[in-house]
Structure 1
Amino acid sequence: MNITPLLDRYGIVHNTKDAYIGDKVALFYEYKFGRYPYYKDYNLSIPINSGTPQNVTREELDEHITIALLNITDNIKCANSSGLGVVDFEEWRPLYDINSVKKVVYKIAAIELTKKKYPEQTNSSVINKTAIEEYDKSAKEFLLETLSNATNERNKTLWGMYGFPYCNYDAGFLKNSSLPPTLEDYRCKDTYRSFNDRMQYIFNASQALYPSIYLNASTPERNFRYVQAIMAETLRVARNYTPTPLPIYVYSKFEYDPLKKNCSFYTKEDLCSTIVLPYVMGANGIIFWSSSSNMKDRCDIVRNFTNTTLGPFVKEVLNESRVNGTLLPRYNETTILTFNETCSTYLPKIVDFIDSRCPNYTSTAKPITTQNGA
């Protein structure tokens, strides 16, 4: 089904011929980009491409770069492409300390490799410190080599990494629900800000930032605070880059769980939080992500939602941007934006908005739960 005319109608930019990886957005997943090391199913006994960046030799890193560059030239045909280039590496984190839950396998591997490399060392504190240092160093080298070579190959493409900078997944939850929200309720935790500071080398090697603002089912107000926290941290990181701040393109969805057969489209309030709020705070654009899962069954309803709801919403924001947003509040780092002044004020302007959920649809999405990364 050709959706190009529909997207064009609402000013939604898309790849030529609706290519999955194309001239406007090129997303390179870890499993199909170079020779990315990881443990399959987080199992130490199933290493792929040496399993962990610590195990990658110079020869293997060179092979990774050679193949990654072929992947780039095969998919970004034009040498002068000025589109968005996104590297999506998620199996392991750039810092030892952030490998939690299933990713703890990379901590275990780091410790075991350190013990094997320094058999004479028996002090557990020294072993742990060395493991952290060598893991972080190896991850840094792998990521920097990938980004720098990608940039050299397509030097007008805006390269960056998906999901950076990081923020805690419970951002936006009120620390004290009996009191009015404070600035802290609209910000990422200091721990995560510190992580991002330690990963500044990634941002220095990037030409754009690609944070994720995917939402799960929760209250509109909490989701609004969550997105604002991520945007605030992204702006902080972007402004550390010189001579000018890095551009920001946020990854967003329009369904809570597109992997399920039943549709679960964002409410108009959450569309506001993921489209209007990033615009108000200075994002350069939004990349809509969805899944091809069950698309045969979902295609018509996704098309209908785009035509009746998402498209008009996007078009209205684009129109607003062309007249300098005179009816919208503007982000100021010394204040916080509230849901009422941003979304409740703005939503009535969308004259053609239709809340087109699926007939007889009952949401199966569960409220978001507090966790320390994934």
Structure 2
Amino acid sequence: IWAALINPVTLSFQLPFLVLWGVPDKDCLGRPDPAAFGMEWEGRVAIFYEDTLGLYPYFTAQDRPVNGGLPQHTSLDLHLQRVEGDLTASLPQAGAPGLGVLRWQEWTPQWNRNREIKTKYLVESRALLRRFFPDWSTEEVEKWSQVDFEAAAQSIMMETLQEVKRFRPQRLWGMAPFPNCYNFDSTQIALANYTGRCPAAEMALNDELMWLWKRSGALYPALSLEKLPEGTKGTWLYATNQIREALRVAALAGTTFDLPVFPLIKIVYITSNSFLSEIDLVNTVGESAAMGASGVIIWEKSLAVKTQKSCSEFGSYVRQVLGPYAVNVTTAARLCGVSLCQGRGRCVRKKPEDPTYLHLPSAHFMLLPHGAEGVRATGELPTAYIDLWKKDFRCKWFEALEGAAADQESAGGCRNFCEPLLALTLIANCK
């Protein structure tokens, strides 16, 4: 039997599951402190966009070129000088740990993935080459436009990652929204025959991005949802396959251990101003925890909270829906990590396709008021519930502890492992 009391934690990447705050809401007066619900913030997550780091080239929605528009026009020296200045201004503390996300999505570094609105980069690349070689055939222009574009795009991304890691080495840097399954189709996701599976062609293209994965400290796939009718499985199928593909890529990166995966979860539905329902928090946050992600980033580029009414609505959502669920899933993940993995790893679904989750049993746990309008979980975890976790989940050991943890697995005995782990404030009593 386990009794647990969870308080906010200091950032550590050897905790079973983290919920991190990436919403620019500091101007929203009256909203609760995310830390009161165990969500990390205050500089833990640094997210940079196309207009906030360096001289990233792109076209606006009105087709106006910024910084040359195309990667082929970029001066790497000038770009990296600006990156250095932007990092110094945005992250003045060089040694502060955290996550570093470059959310550059105006174009992708792979020619054939620049579809729909992104085809302008292909059109402009072809036009650029035709100006230099007007006598070339269509085939020659197509071939060398792709070569030039991909080489320039890859160079920008690689050199930028190298620079940010050199300047702020304590952060886990990576690009978002990568990897991607491109399995979201608003016309198909609500249909009964939608599978959400990652197409083999997209998985092969993700494999070709090994140069990116090997230079990344973490992977940051993105989960953006449409509000679907209750009872449809489309959201879960979309999210679980995106997460599964990110975990697959994380294992292929060529390093000794898998890269940590932190999905960016857009907290507002794509085509509405409403916040994610609790069901869709389960489909995203809960799914990420159960599948073995290191955590999630609750994310929004800009939040429409300019009025006191909208701020009040947002605050109510955090207090009543998001915050309590974050406490629930992070507490359950930590308890499972202690009870199954002796505090040395995280619990991961044995069968990825099974909708089993790391949730506290409602009959045995309560969420009580705590701190600045936050809540904490308190209760006892029955032995029968631990047995259910053992049936549905396996341990994935933390990197530095993998060998030692494996040696201790059979020894069991929670007596040696019920102490607080790293910065985790966890009171767990062995009986």
TM-score w.r.t. the length of structure 2 is 0.70
Q: Which has the higher strand share?
A: 2
Please list, as runs of the form range in 1=range in 2, the aligned pairs for 1:139-158 lying within 5 A after superposition. 139-158=153-172
* Distance in 2, Cα, partners of 1:307 & 1:5: 7
Q: CA deviation at 1:199?
A: 1.8
Question: Where does residue 118 of structure 1 map in the other structure?
Answer: 133
Residue deviations 1:231-258 (CA, integer Å, cap 9, x gap): 010001100121111111111133325x
Question: Where does residue 314 of structure 1 map in the other structure?
Answer: 326
Among residues 246, 250, 255, which one is paired with 2:263 in the alignment? Answer: 250
SS in 1 for 2:264: strand
Q: CA deviation at 1:312?
A: 0.9
Question: Where does residue 98 of structure 2 map in the other structure?
Answer: 83
Given the alignment of the two structures, is residue 39 of structure 1 paired with residue 39 of structure 2, yes or no? no
Contact 2:32/2:318, CA 8 A, preserved across alignment: no
Aligned amino acid, residue 162 of structure 1: A
Question: Where does residue 45 of structure 2 map in the other structure?
Answer: 25
Given the alignment of the two structures, is residue 202 of structure 1 paired with residue 251 of structure 2, yes or no? no
Q: CA deviation at 1:195?
A: 2.0
Q: How many residue pairs are counted as aligned between the two chains?
A: 328
Aligned amino acid, residue 125 of structure 1: E
Question: Where does residue 39 of structure 2 map in the other structure?
Answer: 12
Contact 1:34/1:71, CA 8 A, preserved across alignment: yes
SS in 2 for 1:247: coil
Contact 2:31/2:315, CA 8 A, preserved across alignment: no
Among residues 270, 289, 294, which one is paired with 1:279 in the alignment? Answer: 289
Identity %: 27
Contact 2:190/2:233, CA 8 A, preserved across alignment: no
Contact 2:333/2:347, CA 8 A, preserved across alignment: no
Question: Where does residue 226 of structure 1 map in the other structure?
Answer: 238
* Distance in 2, Cα, partners of 1:164 & 1:347: 34
* Distance in 2, Cα, partners of 1:298 & 1:4: 10
Contact 1:187/1:232, CA 8 A, preserved across alignment: no
Report the CA distance shift for 1:5/1:255 in structure 2 as closer, same or farther (over 3 A): closer
* Distance in 2, Cα, partners of 1:24 & 1:175: 36
Unaligned runs of 5+ in 2: 1-27, 341-345, 369-431
Question: Where does residue 165 of structure 1 map in the other structure?
Answer: 179
Q: CA deviation at 1:213?
A: 1.1
* Distance in 2, Cα, partners of 1:190 & 1:346: 36
* Distance in 1, Cα, partners of 2:184 & 2:57: 29
Report the CA distance shift for 1:3/1:207 in structure 2 as closer, same or farther (over 3 A): farther
SS in 1 for 2:112: helix
Please list, as runs of the form range in 1=range in 2, the aligned pairs for 1:171-182 lying within 5 A after superposition. 177=192
Report the CA distance shift for 1:274/1:175 in structure 2 as closer, same or farther (over 3 A): closer
Question: Where does residue 67 of structure 2 map in the other structure?
Answer: 49
Residue deviations 1:83-135 (CA, integer Å, cap 9, x gap): 111111121111111111121111111111222233342x2222211111111
SS in 2 for 1:130: helix
Q: Which has the larger radius of gyration?
A: 2
SS in 2 for 1:32: coil
Of structures 1 and 2, the one scoring higher in RCO (CA 8 A, sep 6+) is 2
Contact 1:188/1:229, CA 8 A, preserved across alignment: yes
* Distance in 1, Cα, partners of 2:248 & 2:62: 33
Aligned amino acid, residue 116 of structure 2: V
Q: CA deviation at 1:5?
A: 6.0
Given the alignment of the two structures, is residue 337 of structure 1 paired with residue 372 of structure 2, yes or no? no
Question: Where does residue 70 of structure 1 map in the other structure?
Answer: 85
Question: Where does residue 8 of structure 2 map in the other structure?
Answer: none
Q: CA deviation at 1:32?
A: 2.1
Q: CA deviation at 1:157?
A: 1.0
Report the CA distance shift for 1:324/1:3 in structure 2 as closer, same or farther (over 3 A): farther
Q: CA deviation at 1:346?
A: 6.9
Q: CA deviation at 1:2?
A: 5.8
Contact 1:7/1:13, CA 8 A, preserved across alignment: yes
Report the CA distance shift for 1:3/1:10 in structure 2 as closer, same or farther (over 3 A): farther
Given the alignment of the two structures, is residue 127 of structure 1 paired with residue 141 of structure 2, yes or no? yes
Q: CA deviation at 1:282?
A: 0.9
* Distance in 1, Cα, partners of 2:209 & 2:317: 38
Question: Where does residue 150 of structure 2 map in the other structure?
Answer: 136
Aligned amino acid, residue 225 of structure 1: L
Contact 2:328/2:360, CA 8 A, preserved across alignment: no
Report the CA distance shift for 1:323/1:138 in structure 2 as closer, same or farther (over 3 A): same
Q: Which has the higher helix share?
A: 1
Question: Where does residue 201 of structure 2 map in the other structure?
Answer: 191
Residue deviations 1:304-353 (CA, integer Å, cap 9, x gap): 11111111111011110121167999434x65123xx449x878578559
Q: CA deviation at 1:138?
A: 0.8
Contact 1:42/1:105, CA 8 A, preserved across alignment: no
Contact 1:84/1:158, CA 8 A, preserved across alignment: yes
Unaligned runs of 5+ in 1: 16-22, 354-374
* Distance in 2, Cα, partners of 1:159 & 1:314: 24
SS in 2 for 1:50: coil
* Distance in 2, Cα, partners of 1:24 & 1:147: 18
Aligned amino acid, residue 71 of structure 2: P
* Distance in 2, Cα, partners of 1:125 & 1:175: 40
TM-score w.r.t. the length of structure 1 is 0.80
Aligned amino acid, residue 314 of structure 1: A
